[in-house]
Amino acid sequence: MADEYDRDPESLESSRSSESPLSFFPTVKLQVAAALRSAWQEGYGLPQFRADLLAGIIVGIVALPLSMALAIASGVPPQHGLYTAIVAGGVIAVLGGSRTQISGPTAAFVVILAPISAKYGIGGLMMASLLAGIMLTIFGLIRLGKFIEYIPYPVTTGFTAGIATVIATLQLKDFLGLTVAKMPEEYVERVEALVHALPTTHPASLGIGLLTLLTLLVWPRLNKRIPAPLVALTVSAVAAFLVKKFAPEWEVATIGSRFSYVVEGITHAGIPRMPPLPLLPWHMPGGDGQPLQLSFHLIHELFPSACAIALLGAIESLLSAVVADGMAGTRHDSDTELFAQGIGNMISPFFGGFAATGAIARTATNIRSGGRSPVAAIIHAVFVLLAVLLLAPLVAYLPMAGLAALLLIVAWNMSEIKHFIHLLRVAPRSDVLVMLACFSLTVLFDMVVGVTTGVVLAAFLFMHWMARMSKVRTVEEWHPALREPLPPNTILYEIAGPLFFGAAQKAMATLSEINSQTRTVILNLEAVPVMDATGLVNLESLLQKLEAEKIYVLLAGVQPQPALVLAKAGIHKKERRLEICKKLQTAFELAGVRAAEYAEAERAATAASFLRTFSPERARSQTGSGRTTGSLRPDNKPDSKS
């Protein structure tokens, strides 16, 4: 009747393999270029190419100024942002698992990349991106994509809004044309420096910034075919040219006046008219302007920043892929996407690029423009390359205030202020606490501190709620799942919820309070899906205590995962001490048999005691000893009447 773990060998082996450490990292073959393959297998023809061609050109127009603006915000010359869009954007599109995602430099990275470039220069930034690419590739190979999805929504909302706040703050310098000798690294000090520099506001820069901002807001309502950034930055460039011509004393800062490059010993303004060329990241200038020296010390110093880039890159790329799936009705492969992001970030630094990830805004533009395959992303990369080769001299006329206005819009959209306020109003207080903690720590310290604290805090709150959900119910007479009342001196404990370290001690503490008359204890584990080491240790302690008290224990309804944990711990059937049953009814029947055995044993013991009390030999022995002869009661005391 007791069917201890009576599964077929294949079932038990399946459970055992599902709980092995390697089960978290399945050895399923990675589908490289999954998105491109699926698009081709569905039948890719001329109509699809035309749609992707148009979408790729439109996204390329949007990506061109954004890539330069994000490079500048990250503390490096604008051409490196273009190289990132070309190389990383193209490689990730070819190898990735999302059919419509556009990858490249993103605003989310600015808060991480700017401190790196300030301390270690462009060379250090490229090295950190390379290390992050290696990490992302490993994430994809060991299939960590599903774990990235476990990051709670309040955490992503909080740190995203925090990043947007920092980005917007950084753009105020160029938007207002302020003169700041050196921007501090800490957020509070940055705000103080900007406030102190307000008297140096440049009217022309402010005017061009406001004009660009207004154009970016109004143009989409007038015409959705032509991207607003193209129109707005063209207007701002014309305005900057007119200011320089008619009011030279109010000349505004442009890419040409702030950035330059050297070719054959001649210095040129703006960005070079050259494609991304192969180079070694560790030979690029460091923070002191001298070439970096590849060493373990350098890798050790850049490793924490690389971890932050990899973590944020994984989160942003998969978040963007989910948004793309919702808009286009597709389904992405998260592990293939992480692998592609890693390869793209590994290759990009060898061609002058830096960290890249999925860009939600550009991905949405791609889908709205008709893009339905990775070909659109490849065309976007090719378009940016052609723009560098053909239009590089014109880029020098773009005003810094106009690019700052563009990033202010990006920061506003990125903050998702409506969702942020909505969560503040309707979310549980615990989620609001997590979101505000992530937001505050991201702004005041950095994204790594914000995300780490948010995830840990969310995990503790989750464990708290799960522990509260885990309950133990005592049944002493009747259970609805049983056909008859419980046998005498039998108690049934129903445990509901996972037996993990947050709930196990509480549950077992309840079970320790057992009546002294109890002979049999049934532990119904049907509603226990998972048991961890803490739950196992507490259960072992309880079983040892009950065994010491000679109480018969029945474990009923043990689920596959807890059954495997018990088997590994060596908890097996013990004759007349412990039984493990698959069904509660089986445990009930065994308890009935044992109760009958107890009852029979008690009747036999009572009869034996009675016979010993009233046997003739005992009576004669008492008479011969000179004791008073009188009738004896069952308690062996003489009757008072004798």
Percent of the chain at pLDDT > 90 equals: 55
Work out the average pLDDT over 269-280.
Answer: 94
Q: Please tell me the predicted confidence (pLDDT) of residue 7.
A: 42
Band of pLDDT at residue 242, cut at 50, 70 and 90: very high
- Spatial separation of the C-alpha atoms in residues 257 and 250, rounded to whole Å: 14
The chain-wide mean pLDDT, for the chain, equals: 86
Model confidence at 407: pLDDT above 90: yes
The residue ranking higher by pLDDT, 17 or 508, is 508
- 442 and 516 fall within a common domain: no
What is the DSSP-derived secondary structure letter of residue 572?
A: -
Work out the average pLDDT over 103-132.
Answer: 95
Work out the average pLDDT over 483-501.
Answer: 80
Model confidence at 326: pLDDT above 80: yes
- 371 and 488 fall within a common domain: no
Q: Note the helical H segments in 198-261.
A: 203-222, 228-246, 255-258
- 295 and 412 fall within a common domain: yes
Instruction: Select from 236, 268, 267, 234 the least CA-distant residue to 252.
Output: 236
The residue ranking higher by pLDDT, 475 or 273, is 273
Instruction: Select from 553, 542, 555 the least CA-distant residue to 582.
Output: 555
Model confidence at 316: pLDDT above 70: yes
Model confidence at 641: pLDDT above 70: no
Buried b (16+ CB within 10 A) or exposed e, 162-196: bbbbbbbbbbbbbbbbbeeeebeeebeebeebbee
Work out the average pLDDT over 38-47.
Answer: 91
Q: Please tell me the predicted confidence (pLDDT) of residue 462.
A: 80
Tell me which of 417-421, 538-542, 607-611 is least confident: 607-611
Instruction: Select from 400, 355, 112, 92 the least CA-distant residue to 254.
Output: 400
Model confidence at 501: pLDDT above 80: no
Two tokens, residue 4? 């201890």
- 336 and 260 fall within a common domain: yes
Residue 634 covered by a domain: no
What is the DSSP-derived secondary structure letter of residue 544?
A: H
- Spatial separation of the C-alpha atoms in residues 584 and 192, rounded to whole Å: 68
Give the residue carrying structure tokens 């060991």: 142
Residue 614 covered by a domain: no
The residue ranking higher by pLDDT, 609 or 335, is 335
Work out the average pLDDT over 85-103.
Answer: 96
Work out the average pLDDT over 597-618.
Answer: 75
Q: What are phi and psi of 103, to 5 degrees?
A: -115, 155
Work out the average pLDDT over 573-595.
Answer: 84
Work out the average pLDDT over 585-613.
Answer: 81
Q: How many angstroms separate the Cα of 553 from the Cα of each of 66, 171, 515, 547?
A: 68, 69, 14, 8
Two tokens, residue 470? 């885990």
Band of pLDDT at residue 546, cut at 50, 70 and 90: confident
- Spatial separation of the C-alpha atoms in residues 635 and 609, rounded to whole Å: 10
Interacting residues of 192 by C-beta distance below 8 A, sequence separation 6+: 184
Tell me which of 298-307, 343-352, 358-367, 446-455 is least confident: 446-455
Q: How many angstroms separate the Cα of 101 from the Cα of each of 30, 334, 357, 375, 489?
A: 19, 12, 10, 10, 65
Model confidence at 210: pLDDT above 70: yes
Two tokens, residue 575? 């004759």
Cβ atoms of 422 and 196 within 8 Å: the answer is no
Angle in degrees, 0-180, between the axes of helices 228-246 and 400-415, rounded to the nearest 10: 150
Two tokens, residue 327? 């808009």
Work out the average pLDDT over 61-85.
Answer: 96
For residue 618, give the amino acid letter.
R
Band of pLDDT at residue 481, cut at 50, 70 and 90: low
- 408 and 496 fall within a common domain: no
Q: Please tell me the predicted confidence (pLDDT) of residue 550.
A: 86
- Spatial separation of the C-alpha atoms in residues 216 and 105, rounded to whole Å: 20
The residue ranking higher by pLDDT, 491 or 484, is 491
Work out the average pLDDT over 256-283.
Answer: 92
Band of pLDDT at residue 617, cut at 50, 70 and 90: low
Band of pLDDT at residue 630, cut at 50, 70 and 90: very low
Residue 17 covered by a domain: no
Q: Please tell me the predicted confidence (pLDDT) of residue 606.
A: 82
Residue 639 covered by a domain: no
Q: Please tell me the predicted confidence (pLDDT) of residue 225.
A: 85
- 398 and 502 fall within a common domain: no
* Ranges assigned E (strand) in 38-122: 103-104
- 301 and 346 fall within a common domain: yes
Work out the average pLDDT over 29-53.
Answer: 90
Band of pLDDT at residue 474, cut at 50, 70 and 90: confident
Model confidence at 205: pLDDT above 60: yes
Which of 444, 462, 480 finishes a domain?
A: 462
- 411 and 486 fall within a common domain: no
Which of 462, 497, 532 finishes a domain?
A: 462
- 163 and 249 fall within a common domain: yes
Model confidence at 599: pLDDT above 90: no
Q: What is the CATH number of the domain that holds 544?
A: 3.30.750.24
Q: Please tell me the predicted confidence (pLDDT) of residue 635.
A: 42
pTM value is 0.77
The residue ranking higher by pLDDT, 18 or 40, is 40
The sheet with strand 520-527 has its strands ordered as 471-475, 490-496, 520-527, 552-556, 578-581
- 61 and 196 fall within a common domain: yes
Residue 166 covered by a domain: yes
Residue 504 covered by a domain: yes
- 492 and 453 fall within a common domain: no
Residue 3 covered by a domain: no
Total count of domains within the chain:
2
Q: Please tell me the predicted confidence (pLDDT) of residue 588.
A: 83
Q: Please tell me the predicted confidence (pLDDT) of residue 512.
A: 62
Work out the average pLDDT over 531-558.
Answer: 87
Band of pLDDT at residue 629, cut at 50, 70 and 90: very low
- Spatial separation of the C-alpha atoms in residues 279 and 292, rounded to whole Å: 13
Model confidence at 19: pLDDT above 50: no
Q: Please tell me the predicted confidence (pLDDT) of residue 479.
A: 67
- 458 and 525 fall within a common domain: no
Q: Which domain holds residue 593?
A: 471-597
Percentages of the chain per state (helix, strand, coil), in multiples of 5: 65, 10, 30
Q: Please tell me the predicted confidence (pLDDT) of residue 506.
A: 66
357 - beta bridge partners? 104
Q: Please tell me the predicted confidence (pLDDT) of residue 29.
A: 67
Which region holds residue 237: left if phi is over 0, alpha if psi is between -120 and 50, else beta? alpha
Encode pLDDT of 155-172 as tens digits. Answer: 989 999 999 999 999 999
Residue 458 covered by a domain: yes
Q: What are phi and psi of 355, to 5 degrees?
A: -60, 140
Q: Please tell me the predicted confidence (pLDDT) of residue 618.
A: 52
Burial (0-12, 13-18, 19+ Cβ within 10 Å), 540: middle
